[in-house]
Structure 1
Amino acid sequence: MDDIVNAASDSLPFAGLRVIDCAEGIAGSVAAMMLGQMGAEVVKVEPTGGSKQRGSAGFAARQQGKRSIVLDLETDGGNFVALLAGADVLIHEPGLPEPFLATAPHLVTSCISSAPPGIGHDDLPADDFLVMAAIGLLDEQPATRRDGPAFVRLPFGSYCAAWLAATGIGARLFARMRGAPPGPADTSIMQGALLPAMMLWRDAERPTEALVGRIDKRMLPSIFECADGIWLHIMKNADDTPLMKQLLDEMGPEAVASENAKWPAHFRYKNWGANVRAFRSRPSAEWLEDLWAADIPVQPAMLPGELYADAQAVANRYVVEIEDHEMGRIRVPGAPVTINPAADAGRPVSKIGADRDAVLALRKPAAFPALSGSADSRLLAGVRVVDFGNYLAGPLATMLLADLGADVIKVEPPAGDPMRANESAFLGCQRGKRSLALDLRRPEAREIIDRLVEGADIVHHNIRLPTARKFGLAWEDVSVTNPRAIFGHVSAYGPEGVRRHWPGYDQLFQACTGWEWAHAGEGNRPAWLRFGMMDHMCAASLAFGMMAALYRRERTGRGSPVAASLLGAAVLTMSGTAMRADGSLTNSLPALDADQTGPIDGRGLAKCVDGWIAYAGPDQRAPAPQSFASYRCDEALSALGARGYAAIRIPEEAGKAFLHDAALEKRGLVARYSHPVYGELRHPGAFWSMEATPVSPRRAPPVLDQHREEILAEIGFSPTDIARFEKAGIVGASEGMRT
């Protein structure tokens, strides 16, 4: 077994804590479940008759392991007060009466709303689709057959908000272990949706040509149809694999050129047209064998839920079987984060109200050190993170910790993080960090690596583990150098199974989890969402895992490894579907129409004379989109409002307006900082709302090797040592790569 899994540790991080879950939405339910998987006792508070979602796949999946109590807060408020008195954490949604909260000032709380209060969206329903419409994110996703936005059905704002809430709660608990007072770790679906927007929305005073440019929204994703009708999403030019090379040779130069001329030129796939013809000539199984053998990152576009049968997902316990009281034996998402002992996944939620007497029995909250900190201190002040990661899924995790106050040192190769070639994406996951360029391949670098690890609270990277061992950056190396360090690792497919060292990208996991088909629309090719949210959810899950392990270290004094993966985070998004014992799926997703305006469930898009609107309402059958073709947007919104619908005009090209909105900036939703290259740089801001506790970024994303001297001096190297390293080329950016 892999070293990530085998590491010895104590009990799960949040063992001994009690969490009260009063949430109905995806975000709160998942956040509470994750705390439970990390050892907390979670009590689900249900209304009279039980949650209206009981009996659904989503309820069974998202409430795993929770105890149940039925409470009517109007008639049984005394027992709810007693429940809060013995709890440590409360997760809820807007509407919980303030007097209840006032009775339990000892609680760490997280209120997960549609949008942060005070920005003009207080009445916005808890609907990811409408939230994305309200801030203009829907305009970032083009439809396949027409101009204008496409319906986005993956509620990634809620899933991201779940991880943000769980991470914020973990940071609050960690700070309490260091004498800080309790308080809120609030977030929202909107802040969750803004997390993936980091790589799309940015504005610079002095933009470079590369930063101004952006990938064309209409560019086709690299998804190719095979002879058996299966579509494959590939993330590397496959021209040199044995099968593709054979087929291109058989076509001959003239036929290849002729096929290529039928398609627009692509910067990465120079033989796109010929590739299309080649893929259509062989079945998917033959292609997968050829591509995987050549280390080409690829996955088939599957139907939602089919991945429950995947051996890799099962090997890592990303998929578990539970005996649900209403649905029987089903497969659902398991634990996305790997820790030791294994996360507590696979237990069904209790029957309705089954735990009333047990949870109302007298209980004292967990004991924390006496208060010695202040509410206006950053939660992770004094925590040092050394980040050897590249690209997005790993480094975004440490950026979130930087937002919470950690000192993050970004260690890059002399040529820089390869993600720097995509300036917008790089800037969107690196703020708050300091940069040191270090050539890990040089044996002499080990002296610097060891010093960095010795002074770290957290060591993170997403280097494939066989390579990491060569650099002394596997868990067994880190734990010897610093037994108190938390070791965070991100991979594509998880630490167990035959694919544990395979490469992977966001796109592949949108494909295999079924979301590319769910967004396609009737008769269309699979559709990739541009937001890269699988990367972002993976990073956020690791941030939570590292936070949980850090909290445990404060209790035990010992470090431990924790791992997250794209596959694990992606499987969790299938929680609305379960697999029955006979292999059939409980798919609750109605099909999108061919124009991708929406499913038949009362929610959708409509084009008006002067723009697009999004609506959601009480009727099961949505209004026909063409119903508003002759309306102005304001007229359509008024008509829908009269029918009881919530409706939003979709802003177009909304990113810059959002980033220059003074009201949003005042509420912390816009961050701006001074950058040596770009001047004033703006991004989406705070992902949490924590009253007096700072959660905004302190530094702009770093220039390559910007902080070399100060970092090396801090870890004990003299000016003579630093000059020696520089002369030998062990530290420092490659020529021409400083920025």
Structure 2
Amino acid sequence: MASNLPLAGYHVLDLGRTRAVAQGTHFLALLGARVTRIDIEGSCLSDVHDVLWNRDKERLAAAHDPADRARQLVSHLSAVDIVMHDFLPSEARALGLDPDSLSAAYPALVHVAVGAWPAGHPHQDMPVDDALALGSAGLFDEQQPVARDGPLWLRFPFSSALAAYVAASGALARLYARNRSGKGGPVSTSLVQAGLLPMMMHWTRAENPTPSVQFGMPKDSGATLFECADGQWIHIMGAAEKSPAIAKALAEMPREVRDRHNEKYAGAVIPYLDGERGAVEAILMTRPSREWLTEFWASDVPAQPVQPMGALFKDEQALAAGYVVQRELPGVGKIRVAGAPFHLLTDTIGPDGAVPPVADVAQGAPKLPLEGVKVLDLGAFLAGPLVPMLLGDLGADVIKLEPLAGDPMRPGEWAFNGCQRSKRSISVQLKDPRGREVMERLVGWADIVHHNQRMPAADKLGFGWDRVRAINPSAIYSHVSSYGPAGPRKDWPGYDQLFQASAGWEQEGGGEGNPPMWHRFGVVDHLAALASLLVTLAALVRRDLTGKGEWVAASLLGASMAAWDSYMDEQDRLAPAPRLDSMQMGEGPAKRIARTSDGWIVMSSDDPEAPHRLARLAGDRPVDDWMAGQPADALLAMLKAGGIPATRLTLDNRDAFLSDPANRALSLSISAQHPVYGAFETIGGAWNFGPDLRLSLDLPPPLLGQHTRMILSELGLAEHAQQLLFDEQIIRETRA
């Protein structure tokens, strides 16, 4: 790989059989690491997946003889910096790949394990499969189906897509600690831990909940998806009436007609568009989608069309931002694939192929992976603040700087709380030069400056790249945008919903022949944040070698495309990918959810013989009727005997999950004391680092400016100077 990439000189061993490991190590390769893959028997990856995530790796076949395989592993483990695998705990022990064995034999090695559930959990031996993990955790029951009640099959494989970033980021956090202490060690994560990151918005409990926390976002909240005259759907965020054409049509529509249209949504959980949703819906049906999109874009109304997966391969912005890569591969031919979901925007080149020397002796070994790292969070909403929160979970000291009115997402406390723990808050008026001076002190303090403001606004407020670099040349400047750092839409506003629409995930999720469906998990926001986390950590690792800061970037557009599980050939055809049926029950006869006499189950098998085995179990009865008459536990036992992986589909699982002693013991669920809510329970950490390193999960989401005085004192500002800023309303504090 090119020596100007941040992980040049590092060597990674891929022992994965699933997407999370294959794509996680692929991301490390995109960042410059040399990746060697040993192809293990029992891979769950299709030929399409192999093209997507294994194309730039050195490939070796696993030795068949157990003794030869052991020697093969030893020869590679002794030569690499990172190994990543997805063996179940019992399999790992048999191969000598369990954490204790690896740490004893290879003290400097970073070893990463990905499971369905964490090791030590009652479900630790579950196959590493999206459907089984999400179904057993209860997430198949967290989305309202399009045309029926009950749980649904999620076509978006977001737990694996998220886990790829989580595993790779965990590897780099451990690598950063190793480069300081000389000691490698374990990192583990799971599809459940990654998949639950979005549920931090939804699965919380408070001793003293406010109305916003109590209301949350119900499953049947709906979305601002609209059909146009040409039958095409568009997703709109923001005030549609900012469009002159919409405003004019609303003004001209007779009151009784408007009321009749709006009556359709009189009982809606959330009254979108100030209660005018029905009227806007009728107006949008009068013109084709392209005309409306042109109108909205000209009025700075965030909107995107609902497109099929792959349409963005020809999109002007996706091409300009570098999110489309053309390759020619043996046996495959010329194809287009999604490019890297992150950018390195400065030339920071270290010595060719050099890596920081591993310390011989651990001096003051850290207790947290990112102990001593300082982060300034200037972001808002979700994709920006989530990255500093995760850096804080990893042990960084994070300061969130907010305007006097606060983060715009604070009124939606349920969503705000999902990306704001592990931080302290300071509130500053940046439009005043005295407030700007406070911010610049924090820029000088920080190792990482992170935000998701549009770049023209960041420049205007004094925290654009040029200004940050002038104040602190060693700071890593990390930015999350909507559309990427280059191209005609680089400064456009955007939201998760728009990229679920344009990337094809809403169409895929709705099921065959149905209207599109927005996944309320905010998956693209989370994917973009994790892409930013990964490239930020890579820059932090490189800074140990160069001492220089740099500008790194990620975007919602890039992340939405990197989640695809297909590519496009020369004839503009997509490679085969799963398709969801019209009832949103599954992707095939043995890859779906099913009702039983006392609940629901999830089956997930790609084995072509599985449907035949299922039919034999049912005998002369239709399979669905047979399963509907079976108790879940008895059915699961029969499916297990028939070689069909399956698990119970958990319903209404929030309270049970947060209270489960096994989840609490593994910090899958945690509780912290909040100044308003009292005991505040939520989802726990995305990683485990073994006995020597821990996560920092003690700080609940802060009140606005809760730590203003503390932070200013740490910056060396005298009390009388602080009071003057308070008196002049340049800063604000909310007392805990």
2:63·2:72 contact (CA, 8 Å) conserved in 1? Answer: no
Residue of structure 2 equivalent to 1:11: 4
Q: Within 5 Å, which residues of 2 pair with 1:40-59? A: 40-47=33-40, 53=45, 56-59=47-50
Runs of 4+ in 1 over 4 A off after TM superposition: 50-54, 341-344, 363-366, 373-376
Query: 2:405 is matched by which residue type in structure 1?
Result: A
Query: 2:271 is matched by which residue type in structure 1?
Result: F
Q: Within 5 Å, which residues of 2 pair with 1:68-467? A: 68-72=59-63, 74=66, 75-94=68-87, 95-96=91-92, 97-99=94-96, 101=102, 103-264=105-266, 265=268, 266-269=270-273, 270-340=275-345, 367-373=357-363, 377-467=367-457
Residue of structure 1 equivalent to 2:619: none
1:137-168 deviation per Cα after TM superposition (whole angstroms, max 9, x unaligned): 11111212211111102111111111111111
Distance in 2 between the 1:341 and 1:180 partners? 29
Residue of structure 2 equivalent to 1:668: 667
Task: Indicate the SS of the match to 1:410.
Answer: strand
Q: Pick from 467, 476, 486: which aligns with 1:486?
A: 476
Residue of structure 2 equivalent to 1:632: 631
Query: 1:282 is matched by which residue type in structure 2?
Result: R
CA deviation after TM superposition for structure 1 residue 552, in Å: 0.8
Query: 2:34 is matched by which residue type in structure 1?
Result: E
Which structure has more helix as a fraction of its residues? 2
The 3 A distance-change label for structure 1 pair 492 and 44 is: same
Task: Indicate the SS of the match to 2:587.
Answer: coil
Residue of structure 1 equivalent to 2:599: 611
Q: Comparing both chains, which one has the higher relative contact order based on Cα–Cα distances under 8 Å and sequence gaps of 6 or more?
A: 1
1:410-434 deviation per Cα after TM superposition (whole angstroms, max 9, x unaligned): 1111111111111111111111100
Task: Indicate the SS of the match to 2:13.
Answer: strand
2:4·2:347 contact (CA, 8 Å) conserved in 1? Answer: no
Distance in 1 between the 2:366 and 2:715 partners? 28
Query: 1:705 is matched by which residue type in structure 2?
Result: G
Task: Indicate the SS of the match to 1:712.
Answer: helix
Distance in 1 between the 2:171 and 2:69 partners? 27
RMSD: 2.3
Query: 1:544 is matched by which residue type in structure 2?
Result: L
1:464-508 deviation per Cα after TM superposition (whole angstroms, max 9, x unaligned): 110111111011100000001011111111110011111111111
2:18·2:43 contact (CA, 8 Å) conserved in 1? Answer: no
Task: Indicate the SS of the match to 1:570.
Answer: helix
The 3 A distance-change label for structure 1 pair 342 and 318 is: farther
CA deviation after TM superposition for structure 1 residue 343, in Å: 12
Task: Indicate the SS of the match to 1:110.
Answer: strand
Residue of structure 2 equivalent to 1:518: 508
Distance in 2 between the 1:385 and 1:198 partners? 21
Residue of structure 2 equivalent to 1:583: 572
Residue of structure 1 equivalent to 2:644: 645
Task: Indicate the SS of the match to 1:690.
Answer: coil
1:337·1:343 contact (CA, 8 Å) conserved in 2? Answer: no
Question: After the TM superposition, which of the residue ranges 333-342 and 124-133 deviates more from structure 2?
Answer: 333-342
The 3 A distance-change label for structure 1 pair 443 and 656 is: same
The 3 A distance-change label for structure 1 pair 343 and 511 is: farther
Residue of structure 1 equivalent to 2:620: none
Tell me the percent identity: 40
The 3 A distance-change label for structure 1 pair 416 and 364 is: closer
2:8·2:354 contact (CA, 8 Å) conserved in 1? Answer: no
CA deviation after TM superposition for structure 1 residue 177, in Å: 2.1
Indicate yes or no: 2:696 matched with 1:707: no
Distance in 1 between the 2:238 and 2:184 partners? 48
Question: After the TM superposition, which of the residue ranges 495-504 and 166-175 deviates more from structure 2?
Answer: 166-175
The 3 A distance-change label for structure 1 pair 51 and 156 is: closer
How many residues of Structure 1 are paired with residues of Structure 2 in the alignment?
Answer: 706
CA deviation after TM superposition for structure 1 residue 20, in Å: 0.8
**Unpaired runs of at least 5, structure 2:** 616-622
Query: 1:84 is matched by which residue type in structure 2?
Result: L
Task: Indicate the SS of the match to 2:419.
Answer: coil
CA deviation after TM superposition for structure 1 residue 532, in Å: 0.7
The 3 A distance-change label for structure 1 pair 458 and 332 is: same
Distance in 2 between the 1:196 and 1:51 partners? 28
Distance in 1 between the 2:192 and 2:43 partners? 25
1:81·1:103 contact (CA, 8 Å) conserved in 2? Answer: no
TM-score (ref. length: structure 1): 0.91
Distance in 1 between the 2:118 and 2:711 partners? 37
Distance in 2 between the 1:377 and 1:214 partners? 35
Distance in 2 between the 1:439 and 1:371 partners? 46
1:411·1:437 contact (CA, 8 Å) conserved in 2? Answer: yes
